[in-house]
Amino acid sequence: MLTAAMSRHTTFRYCLDPTVEQLNSLARHAGAARFAFNRCLQLHLLARRAHKRQTAVPVPWTGFDLINAFNGWKKTAHAGRIITVDSSGSADVTATGLAWRNSVCQQVFEESAVDCGRALKAWTDSRRGKRTGPRIGHPRFKRKGRGLPSFRVRNKSPRKPTIRVGEGQRPRSVTVPGLGVIAVRDDTRRLRRLLGSGRANVLFATISQRAGRWWISINVEAADMHPAMQHAPRPQGDSGGWVGVDRGLSAFAVSAAGDGTACERFTDHPKPLTSGQRRQRYLARAVTRKEKGSHNRRKAAARLGKHHYHIANIRRHFLHKVSNQLVKTHDRLVIEDLNVRGMLCNRSLARAISDAGWAEFARQLAYKQQWRGGALVRAHRWYPSTKTCSTCGCARADLRLHERVFTCYTCGAALDRDLNAAINLATWAEQHSAQVRDPQAGGPVINAHRQSRSGRHLRVGETGLNDVGTDVRPASAI
Protein backbone atom coordinates (compact mmCIF):
# COMPACT_ATOMS: atom_id res chain seq x y z
CA MET A 1 0.00 0.00 0.00
CA LEU A 2 1.31 3.43 -0.91
CA THR A 3 1.81 6.04 1.79
CA ALA A 4 1.97 9.79 1.32
CA ALA A 5 2.37 12.82 3.54
CA MET A 6 -1.00 14.01 4.82
CA SER A 7 -1.21 17.78 4.56
CA ARG A 8 -4.87 18.71 4.01
CA HIS A 9 -8.23 18.00 5.58
CA THR A 10 -11.41 17.41 3.66
CA THR A 11 -14.87 16.01 4.33
CA PHE A 12 -17.03 13.53 2.44
CA ARG A 13 -20.74 13.71 3.17
CA TYR A 14 -23.19 10.95 2.36
CA CYS A 15 -26.89 10.44 2.89
CA LEU A 16 -27.59 7.38 5.01
CA ASP A 17 -30.20 4.74 4.20
CA PRO A 18 -30.67 3.04 7.59
CA THR A 19 -33.09 0.30 8.54
CA VAL A 20 -35.84 0.75 11.11
CA GLU A 21 -33.65 -0.67 13.88
CA GLN A 22 -30.77 1.57 12.84
CA LEU A 23 -33.07 4.61 12.85
CA ASN A 24 -33.89 3.94 16.48
CA SER A 25 -30.21 3.44 17.27
CA LEU A 26 -29.26 6.71 15.55
CA ALA A 27 -31.89 8.60 17.53
CA ARG A 28 -30.65 6.90 20.72
CA HIS A 29 -27.05 7.98 20.07
CA ALA A 30 -28.12 11.56 19.30
CA GLY A 31 -30.11 11.67 22.54
CA ALA A 32 -27.15 10.27 24.46
CA ALA A 33 -24.91 13.02 23.04
CA ARG A 34 -27.38 15.68 24.11
CA PHE A 35 -27.71 14.10 27.57
CA ALA A 36 -23.93 13.93 28.05
CA PHE A 37 -23.47 17.57 27.04
CA ASN A 38 -26.14 18.74 29.48
CA ARG A 39 -24.74 16.59 32.29
CA CYS A 40 -21.18 17.83 31.73
CA LEU A 41 -22.41 21.41 31.78
CA GLN A 42 -24.35 20.76 34.98
CA LEU A 43 -21.31 19.14 36.62
CA HIS A 44 -19.27 22.19 35.68
CA LEU A 45 -21.83 24.62 37.13
CA LEU A 46 -22.14 22.62 40.35
CA ALA A 47 -18.35 22.59 40.71
CA ARG A 48 -18.20 26.36 40.20
CA ARG A 49 -20.79 26.93 42.93
CA ALA A 50 -18.92 24.60 45.29
CA HIS A 51 -15.65 26.35 44.44
CA LYS A 52 -17.11 29.65 45.64
CA ARG A 53 -17.84 28.12 49.05
CA GLN A 54 -14.62 26.12 49.23
CA THR A 55 -11.71 27.00 46.98
CA ALA A 56 -10.17 23.53 47.28
CA VAL A 57 -12.93 22.08 45.06
CA PRO A 58 -11.57 21.69 41.49
CA VAL A 59 -13.62 22.97 38.56
CA PRO A 60 -13.54 20.98 35.31
CA TRP A 61 -12.96 23.36 32.41
CA THR A 62 -11.30 21.31 29.69
CA GLY A 63 -12.72 18.42 27.76
CA PHE A 64 -10.34 15.97 29.47
CA ASP A 65 -11.49 17.08 32.93
CA LEU A 66 -15.14 16.87 31.89
CA ILE A 67 -14.63 13.34 30.57
CA ASN A 68 -13.18 12.26 33.90
CA ALA A 69 -15.99 14.00 35.78
CA PHE A 70 -18.68 12.35 33.66
CA ASN A 71 -17.07 8.90 33.88
CA GLY A 72 -16.94 9.22 37.63
CA TRP A 73 -20.55 10.36 37.83
CA LYS A 74 -22.11 7.72 35.55
CA LYS A 75 -21.15 4.88 37.93
CA THR A 76 -22.47 6.48 41.11
CA ALA A 77 -25.87 6.30 42.75
CA HIS A 78 -26.64 9.82 41.54
CA ALA A 79 -26.79 8.45 37.98
CA GLY A 80 -29.02 5.48 38.89
CA ARG A 81 -29.93 3.30 41.85
CA ILE A 82 -32.29 0.48 42.84
CA ILE A 83 -34.11 0.58 46.16
CA THR A 84 -35.34 -2.75 47.52
CA VAL A 85 -37.56 -3.07 50.59
CA ASP A 86 -37.88 -6.40 52.45
CA SER A 87 -40.81 -7.66 54.49
CA SER A 88 -39.49 -6.05 57.66
CA GLY A 89 -39.56 -2.61 56.05
CA SER A 90 -35.81 -2.05 55.79
CA ALA A 91 -34.63 -0.52 52.53
CA ASP A 92 -31.49 -1.44 50.67
CA VAL A 93 -30.02 0.94 48.08
CA THR A 94 -27.89 -0.48 45.26
CA ALA A 95 -25.97 1.89 43.00
CA THR A 96 -26.38 0.82 39.37
CA GLY A 97 -25.10 3.95 37.71
CA LEU A 98 -26.34 4.97 34.29
CA ALA A 99 -28.22 1.82 33.35
CA TRP A 100 -28.38 2.45 29.60
CA ARG A 101 -24.77 3.56 29.14
CA ASN A 102 -23.77 0.28 27.47
CA SER A 103 -26.47 0.56 24.79
CA VAL A 104 -24.60 3.35 22.97
CA CYS A 105 -21.01 3.85 21.89
CA GLN A 106 -18.91 5.30 24.71
CA GLN A 107 -17.20 7.71 22.32
CA VAL A 108 -20.46 9.66 22.13
CA PHE A 109 -20.09 10.64 25.79
CA GLU A 110 -16.45 11.62 25.36
CA GLU A 111 -17.03 13.76 22.29
CA SER A 112 -19.94 15.55 23.96
CA ALA A 113 -17.67 16.35 26.91
CA VAL A 114 -15.07 17.71 24.50
CA ASP A 115 -17.72 19.89 22.85
CA CYS A 116 -18.76 21.25 26.25
CA GLY A 117 -15.13 22.08 27.05
CA ARG A 118 -14.73 23.90 23.73
CA ALA A 119 -17.88 25.91 24.38
CA LEU A 120 -16.59 26.94 27.82
CA LYS A 121 -13.21 27.90 26.37
CA ALA A 122 -14.87 30.00 23.64
CA TRP A 123 -16.89 31.80 26.31
CA THR A 124 -13.88 32.54 28.51
CA ASP A 125 -11.70 33.63 25.58
CA SER A 126 -14.45 35.95 24.36
CA ARG A 127 -14.75 37.55 27.80
CA ARG A 128 -10.99 38.07 28.06
CA GLY A 129 -10.69 39.49 24.54
CA LYS A 130 -8.62 36.58 23.23
CA ARG A 131 -11.24 35.56 20.66
CA THR A 132 -12.05 37.67 17.63
CA GLY A 133 -15.47 38.03 16.11
CA PRO A 134 -18.82 38.46 17.81
CA ARG A 135 -19.14 37.97 21.52
CA ILE A 136 -19.75 34.39 22.63
CA GLY A 137 -22.32 33.74 25.34
CA HIS A 138 -22.25 31.13 28.08
CA PRO A 139 -23.10 27.57 26.98
CA ARG A 140 -26.74 26.66 27.45
CA PHE A 141 -28.48 23.38 28.00
CA LYS A 142 -29.68 21.58 24.89
CA ARG A 143 -33.34 20.81 24.50
CA LYS A 144 -34.90 18.01 22.50
CA GLY A 145 -36.60 19.31 19.36
CA ARG A 146 -34.75 22.65 19.36
CA GLY A 147 -31.21 21.84 18.32
CA LEU A 148 -29.74 19.70 15.56
CA PRO A 149 -29.68 15.98 16.49
CA SER A 150 -26.08 14.91 15.97
CA PHE A 151 -23.21 12.98 17.50
CA ARG A 152 -19.58 12.28 16.66
CA VAL A 153 -17.40 9.19 16.75
CA ARG A 154 -13.64 9.14 16.32
CA ASN A 155 -11.34 6.75 14.51
CA LYS A 156 -8.84 6.09 17.28
CA SER A 157 -6.64 3.56 15.45
CA PRO A 158 -5.56 4.41 11.89
CA ARG A 159 -3.98 0.96 11.47
CA LYS A 160 -7.17 -0.84 12.50
CA PRO A 161 -9.82 1.73 11.59
CA THR A 162 -13.17 1.48 13.32
CA ILE A 163 -14.79 3.72 10.69
CA ARG A 164 -14.70 1.92 7.36
CA VAL A 165 -16.20 2.70 3.95
CA GLY A 166 -17.43 0.15 1.41
CA GLU A 167 -16.53 -2.96 3.37
CA GLY A 168 -17.05 -6.37 1.81
CA GLN A 169 -19.54 -6.67 -1.03
CA ARG A 170 -21.34 -3.44 -0.11
CA PRO A 171 -19.47 -0.53 -1.69
CA ARG A 172 -22.23 1.90 -0.72
CA SER A 173 -21.99 1.39 3.00
CA VAL A 174 -20.28 2.84 6.05
CA THR A 175 -19.24 0.96 9.18
CA VAL A 176 -19.61 3.03 12.36
CA PRO A 177 -18.67 1.81 15.86
CA GLY A 178 -21.74 1.06 17.92
CA LEU A 179 -24.02 1.08 14.87
CA GLY A 180 -22.54 -1.49 12.50
CA VAL A 181 -22.82 -1.35 8.73
CA ILE A 182 -25.18 1.35 7.45
CA ALA A 183 -26.13 1.70 3.80
CA VAL A 184 -25.62 5.03 2.03
CA ARG A 185 -27.41 6.45 -0.99
CA ASP A 186 -24.36 8.06 -2.65
CA ASP A 187 -21.35 6.67 -4.47
CA THR A 188 -18.30 6.21 -2.21
CA ARG A 189 -15.79 5.42 -4.97
CA ARG A 190 -13.62 8.53 -4.54
CA LEU A 191 -13.18 8.02 -0.81
CA ARG A 192 -12.61 4.27 -1.17
CA ARG A 193 -9.84 4.91 -3.69
CA LEU A 194 -8.12 7.39 -1.40
CA LEU A 195 -8.31 5.03 1.57
CA GLY A 196 -7.25 1.99 -0.48
CA SER A 197 -4.15 3.71 -1.88
CA GLY A 198 -3.06 5.01 1.51
CA ARG A 199 -3.54 8.65 0.51
CA ALA A 200 -6.10 9.38 3.24
CA ASN A 201 -6.88 8.47 6.83
CA VAL A 202 -10.27 8.78 8.49
CA LEU A 203 -10.16 11.05 11.55
CA PHE A 204 -13.77 11.16 12.74
CA ALA A 205 -17.34 11.01 11.51
CA THR A 206 -20.25 13.27 12.43
CA ILE A 207 -23.77 11.92 12.01
CA SER A 208 -26.62 14.43 12.01
CA GLN A 209 -30.26 14.64 11.03
CA ARG A 210 -31.25 17.35 8.57
CA ALA A 211 -34.55 17.78 6.78
CA GLY A 212 -35.83 14.39 7.90
CA ARG A 213 -32.75 12.46 6.71
CA TRP A 214 -29.63 11.21 8.45
CA TRP A 215 -26.29 12.34 7.02
CA ILE A 216 -22.74 11.27 7.78
CA SER A 217 -19.77 13.62 7.31
CA ILE A 218 -16.46 11.75 7.26
CA ASN A 219 -13.49 13.99 7.99
CA VAL A 220 -10.27 12.64 6.48
CA GLU A 221 -6.66 13.70 6.45
CA ALA A 222 -5.57 13.41 2.83
CA ALA A 223 -2.38 13.86 0.86
CA ASP A 224 -1.73 16.69 -1.55
CA MET A 225 -3.57 16.72 -4.82
CA HIS A 226 -1.95 15.17 -7.87
CA PRO A 227 0.71 17.42 -9.45
CA ALA A 228 -1.32 17.49 -12.67
CA MET A 229 -4.18 19.13 -10.74
CA GLN A 230 -1.95 21.75 -9.11
CA HIS A 231 -0.82 25.05 -10.57
CA ALA A 232 2.73 25.29 -11.84
CA PRO A 233 4.97 27.36 -9.55
CA ARG A 234 5.84 30.80 -10.82
CA PRO A 235 9.42 32.08 -10.94
CA GLN A 236 10.64 34.22 -8.08
CA GLY A 237 10.00 37.92 -8.63
CA ASP A 238 7.08 37.37 -11.00
CA SER A 239 4.38 39.85 -9.94
CA GLY A 240 1.99 39.27 -12.85
CA GLY A 241 -0.82 36.89 -13.53
CA TRP A 242 -3.21 38.31 -10.94
CA VAL A 243 -6.93 38.13 -11.64
CA GLY A 244 -9.35 40.30 -9.71
CA VAL A 245 -12.74 38.91 -8.71
CA ASP A 246 -15.45 41.45 -7.92
CA ARG A 247 -18.55 40.16 -6.13
CA GLY A 248 -21.89 41.80 -6.80
CA LEU A 249 -25.64 41.37 -6.86
CA SER A 250 -26.63 41.98 -10.49
CA ALA A 251 -23.69 39.85 -11.62
CA PHE A 252 -22.55 37.42 -8.94
CA ALA A 253 -18.86 37.61 -9.87
CA VAL A 254 -16.78 39.29 -12.55
CA SER A 255 -13.11 38.46 -13.05
CA ALA A 256 -10.55 40.41 -15.05
CA ALA A 257 -6.78 40.77 -15.40
CA GLY A 258 -4.76 43.87 -14.69
CA ASP A 259 -4.38 44.72 -18.38
CA GLY A 260 -8.15 45.07 -18.76
CA THR A 261 -8.86 41.64 -20.19
CA ALA A 262 -12.22 40.30 -19.03
CA CYS A 263 -12.04 36.65 -17.96
CA GLU A 264 -15.35 35.39 -16.59
CA ARG A 265 -18.71 36.87 -15.81
CA PHE A 266 -21.20 34.84 -13.78
CA THR A 267 -24.72 36.18 -14.21
CA ASP A 268 -26.68 32.93 -13.80
CA HIS A 269 -27.02 33.19 -10.04
CA PRO A 270 -30.11 31.16 -9.11
CA LYS A 271 -31.07 33.41 -6.15
CA PRO A 272 -32.87 30.55 -4.39
CA LEU A 273 -34.09 32.59 -1.43
CA THR A 274 -35.76 35.17 -3.65
CA SER A 275 -37.26 32.63 -6.03
CA GLY A 276 -38.59 30.50 -3.17
CA GLN A 277 -39.96 33.38 -1.14
CA ARG A 278 -43.55 32.70 -2.12
CA ARG A 279 -43.46 29.08 -1.02
CA GLN A 280 -41.59 30.06 2.14
CA ARG A 281 -44.38 32.47 3.12
CA TYR A 282 -46.96 29.77 2.48
CA LEU A 283 -45.13 27.20 4.63
CA ALA A 284 -44.41 29.69 7.42
CA ARG A 285 -48.06 30.75 7.47
CA ALA A 286 -49.06 27.10 7.73
CA VAL A 287 -46.88 26.69 10.83
CA THR A 288 -48.41 29.66 12.62
CA ARG A 289 -51.94 28.39 11.94
CA LYS A 290 -51.31 25.12 13.77
CA GLU A 291 -51.76 24.76 17.51
CA LYS A 292 -48.55 24.97 19.51
CA GLY A 293 -47.31 21.59 20.68
CA SER A 294 -49.49 19.61 18.25
CA HIS A 295 -48.31 16.97 15.80
CA ASN A 296 -49.62 18.99 12.88
CA ARG A 297 -47.48 21.95 13.88
CA ARG A 298 -44.45 19.66 14.12
CA LYS A 299 -45.14 18.33 10.63
CA ALA A 300 -45.58 21.83 9.21
CA ALA A 301 -42.31 22.94 10.82
CA ALA A 302 -40.58 19.93 9.25
CA ARG A 303 -41.86 20.93 5.81
CA LEU A 304 -40.58 24.47 6.33
CA GLY A 305 -37.20 23.10 7.42
CA LYS A 306 -36.95 20.97 4.28
CA HIS A 307 -37.64 24.05 2.18
CA HIS A 308 -34.84 26.02 3.88
CA TYR A 309 -32.47 23.09 3.49
CA HIS A 310 -33.33 22.87 -0.22
CA ILE A 311 -32.53 26.57 -0.64
CA ALA A 312 -29.19 26.15 1.12
CA ASN A 313 -28.26 23.22 -1.12
CA ILE A 314 -29.01 25.18 -4.29
CA ARG A 315 -26.87 28.07 -3.10
CA ARG A 316 -24.03 25.79 -2.02
CA HIS A 317 -24.01 23.97 -5.36
CA PHE A 318 -23.74 27.22 -7.30
CA LEU A 319 -20.93 28.54 -5.09
CA HIS A 320 -18.92 25.34 -5.56
CA LYS A 321 -19.42 25.50 -9.33
CA VAL A 322 -18.19 29.10 -9.57
CA SER A 323 -15.28 28.65 -7.16
CA ASN A 324 -14.11 25.49 -8.93
CA GLN A 325 -14.08 27.22 -12.30
CA LEU A 326 -12.09 30.16 -10.98
CA VAL A 327 -9.58 28.06 -9.06
CA LYS A 328 -8.96 25.65 -11.94
CA THR A 329 -8.43 28.50 -14.41
CA HIS A 330 -6.34 31.03 -12.47
CA ASP A 331 -3.48 30.46 -10.03
CA ARG A 332 -3.55 33.98 -8.59
CA LEU A 333 -6.79 35.55 -7.39
CA VAL A 334 -7.54 38.71 -5.45
CA ILE A 335 -10.83 39.62 -3.80
CA GLU A 336 -12.04 42.38 -1.51
CA ASP A 337 -12.20 42.00 2.24
CA LEU A 338 -15.89 42.86 2.42
CA ASN A 339 -17.60 43.63 5.70
CA VAL A 340 -20.54 41.34 5.01
CA ARG A 341 -21.84 41.57 8.57
CA GLY A 342 -21.98 45.35 8.31
CA MET A 343 -23.64 45.23 4.90
CA LEU A 344 -26.45 43.13 6.34
CA CYS A 345 -27.51 46.17 8.38
CA ASN A 346 -28.83 47.69 5.16
CA ARG A 347 -32.45 46.62 5.25
CA SER A 348 -32.85 47.20 1.51
CA LEU A 349 -30.03 44.83 0.50
CA ALA A 350 -29.81 42.43 3.44
CA ARG A 351 -31.88 39.70 1.79
CA ALA A 352 -30.03 39.89 -1.53
CA ILE A 353 -26.62 39.86 0.18
CA SER A 354 -27.58 36.88 2.32
CA ASP A 355 -28.87 35.07 -0.74
CA ALA A 356 -25.58 35.65 -2.58
CA GLY A 357 -23.39 33.95 0.04
CA TRP A 358 -20.33 36.16 -0.38
CA ALA A 359 -18.58 35.00 2.79
CA GLU A 360 -18.99 31.32 1.96
CA PHE A 361 -17.73 31.99 -1.56
CA ALA A 362 -14.56 33.62 -0.20
CA ARG A 363 -14.01 30.70 2.17
CA GLN A 364 -14.26 28.19 -0.66
CA LEU A 365 -11.82 30.15 -2.82
CA ALA A 366 -9.31 30.25 0.04
CA TYR A 367 -9.04 26.55 0.79
CA LYS A 368 -9.35 25.43 -2.83
CA GLN A 369 -6.52 27.72 -3.92
CA GLN A 370 -4.39 26.38 -1.09
CA TRP A 371 -5.06 22.80 -2.20
CA ARG A 372 -3.98 23.58 -5.74
CA GLY A 373 -0.89 25.55 -4.79
CA GLY A 374 -2.32 28.89 -5.91
CA ALA A 375 -2.49 32.24 -4.16
CA LEU A 376 -5.48 34.19 -2.90
CA VAL A 377 -5.10 37.65 -1.39
CA ARG A 378 -7.63 40.09 -0.01
CA ALA A 379 -7.46 43.77 -0.77
CA HIS A 380 -8.03 45.84 2.34
CA ARG A 381 -11.54 46.89 3.14
CA TRP A 382 -11.20 50.60 2.37
CA TYR A 383 -9.62 50.25 -1.06
CA PRO A 384 -12.04 52.06 -3.46
CA SER A 385 -11.95 49.51 -6.27
CA THR A 386 -15.40 50.45 -7.57
CA LYS A 387 -14.93 54.25 -7.43
CA THR A 388 -11.45 54.32 -8.98
CA CYS A 389 -10.90 54.58 -12.71
CA SER A 390 -8.90 51.61 -14.01
CA THR A 391 -7.47 53.74 -16.82
CA CYS A 392 -6.15 56.90 -15.14
CA GLY A 393 -6.49 56.06 -11.42
CA CYS A 394 -8.76 59.00 -10.51
CA ALA A 395 -11.51 58.37 -7.97
CA ARG A 396 -15.15 59.36 -7.97
CA ALA A 397 -16.97 60.07 -4.72
CA ASP A 398 -20.44 60.56 -6.23
CA LEU A 399 -20.82 57.09 -7.74
CA ARG A 400 -24.24 55.72 -6.89
CA LEU A 401 -25.32 52.11 -6.59
CA HIS A 402 -27.76 52.26 -9.51
CA GLU A 403 -25.03 53.41 -11.93
CA ARG A 404 -23.97 50.20 -13.65
CA VAL A 405 -21.56 51.94 -16.05
CA PHE A 406 -18.53 53.69 -14.58
CA THR A 407 -17.71 56.97 -16.33
CA CYS A 408 -14.52 58.79 -15.43
CA TYR A 409 -14.78 62.59 -15.23
CA THR A 410 -11.05 62.99 -15.87
CA CYS A 411 -10.21 60.77 -18.85
CA GLY A 412 -13.73 60.06 -20.08
CA ALA A 413 -13.36 56.27 -19.91
CA ALA A 414 -16.64 54.36 -19.68
CA LEU A 415 -16.88 50.65 -18.86
CA ASP A 416 -18.91 48.23 -16.81
CA ARG A 417 -18.89 48.96 -13.10
CA ASP A 418 -18.03 45.41 -12.01
CA LEU A 419 -15.38 44.98 -14.70
CA ASN A 420 -13.73 48.22 -13.61
CA ALA A 421 -13.58 47.00 -10.00
CA ALA A 422 -12.10 43.63 -11.03
CA ILE A 423 -9.38 45.35 -13.06
CA ASN A 424 -8.52 47.60 -10.12
CA LEU A 425 -8.25 44.61 -7.80
CA ALA A 426 -5.85 42.85 -10.17
CA THR A 427 -3.76 46.03 -10.47
CA TRP A 428 -3.70 46.42 -6.71
CA ALA A 429 -2.38 42.86 -6.30
CA GLU A 430 0.39 43.44 -8.85
CA GLN A 431 1.50 46.56 -7.00
CA HIS A 432 1.41 44.84 -3.60
CA SER A 433 2.72 41.45 -4.71
CA ALA A 434 5.83 41.89 -2.60
CA GLN A 435 3.66 41.77 0.54
CA VAL A 436 1.89 38.53 -0.41
CA ARG A 437 2.37 35.87 2.25
CA ASP A 438 3.12 32.22 1.78
CA PRO A 439 -0.08 30.44 0.63
CA GLN A 440 0.35 27.97 3.50
CA ALA A 441 0.17 30.82 6.01
CA GLY A 442 -3.24 32.04 4.83
CA GLY A 443 -4.91 35.24 5.95
CA PRO A 444 -5.10 38.66 4.34
CA VAL A 445 -2.15 40.39 2.77
CA ILE A 446 -2.27 43.51 4.94
CA ASN A 447 -4.40 44.76 7.76
CA ALA A 448 -7.56 46.69 6.99
CA HIS A 449 -7.21 50.44 7.38
CA ARG A 450 -9.73 52.18 9.58
CA GLN A 451 -11.48 55.34 8.49
CA SER A 452 -10.21 58.38 10.31
CA ARG A 453 -13.75 59.48 11.09
CA SER A 454 -14.94 56.10 12.43
CA GLY A 455 -14.59 56.04 16.20
CA ARG A 456 -13.03 58.58 18.52
CA HIS A 457 -9.40 58.02 17.63
CA LEU A 458 -7.03 55.55 16.01
CA ARG A 459 -5.18 53.02 18.08
CA VAL A 460 -1.43 53.23 18.54
CA GLY A 461 0.35 52.19 15.36
CA GLU A 462 -2.87 52.03 13.29
CA THR A 463 -3.01 53.73 9.90
CA GLY A 464 -5.94 55.60 8.48
CA LEU A 465 -7.08 56.29 4.96
CA ASN A 466 -5.21 59.59 4.80
CA ASP A 467 -1.93 57.86 5.69
CA VAL A 468 -2.14 55.26 2.92
CA GLY A 469 -3.62 57.56 0.29
CA THR A 470 -6.88 55.66 -0.24
CA ASP A 471 -9.29 58.26 1.10
CA VAL A 472 -11.80 59.09 -1.63
CA ARG A 473 -12.23 62.80 -2.33
CA PRO A 474 -14.50 64.38 -4.91
CA ALA A 475 -12.61 64.87 -8.15
CA SER A 476 -12.89 68.23 -9.81
CA ALA A 477 -14.75 68.10 -13.10
CA ILE A 478 -12.71 69.22 -16.10
Nearest to 295 by CA among 456, 84, 145: 145
CB neighbours (10 Å) of residue 15?
A: 12
Mean pLDDT of the chain: 87
CB 205 within 8 A of CB 163: yes
What beta strand segments (E) does 173-261 contain?
173-176, 180-183, 200-210, 213-223, 243-247, 253-257
pLDDT in the model for residue 77: 87
In eight-state DSSP terms, residue 432 is: T
CA 186 to chain centre: 22
Q: Looking at this protein, which amino acid is placed at residue 176?
A: V
Q: pLDDT tens, 158-215?
A: 778 899 999 888 999 999 999 999 999 999 999 999 999 989 999 999 999 999 999 9
- Asked whether the whole model's pTM tops 0.85, one would answer no
Distance of alpha carbon 445 from alpha carbon 413, whole angstroms: 30
pLDDT, residue 327, reads 95
DSSP 285-332: HHHHTSPTTSHHHHHHHHHHHHHHHHHHHHHHHHHHHHHHHHHHH-SE
Question: Rounded to the nearest 5°, which phi and psi values hold at 217?
Answer: -115, 110
d(CA 248, CA 338): 11
Q: Is the pLDDT of residue 390 over 90?
A: no
Query: pLDDT value at position 83?
Result: 81
pLDDT at 455 over 50: no
Handedness of CA 180, 183, 186, 188 (dihedral sign): positive
pLDDT in tens, 256-293: 998 888 899 999 999 999 999 999 999 999 999 999 98
* Distance separating alpha carbons of residues 188 and 205, to the nearest angstrom: 15
Q: Estimate the crossing angle of helix 20-53 against helix 63-73, to 10 degrees.
A: 100
pLDDT one-digit tens code per residue, 296-337:
999 999 999 999 999 999 999 999 999 999 999 999 999 999
What Å distances lie between residue 36 and 40, 138, 145, 151, CA to CA? 6, 17, 16, 11
Could you give the CA distance from residue 104 to residue 180 in angstroms, rounded to a whole number?
12
Whole-angstrom Cα distance, residue 30 to residue 104? Answer: 10
Residue 434 pLDDT class (50, 70, 90 cuts) = low
pLDDT digits (tens, 9 = 90+) for 331-378: 999 999 999 989 999 899 999 999 999 999 999 999 999 999 999 999
Taking the CB of residue 252, how many other CB atoms lie within 10 A of it? 23
Predicted confidence at residue 14, as pLDDT, reads 96
**Chain CA centroid to CA 366, Å:** 13
C-beta separation of 286 from 307 below 8 A: no
Query: Rounded to a whole number, what is the distance in angstroms from the first to the last CA of the chain?
Result: 72
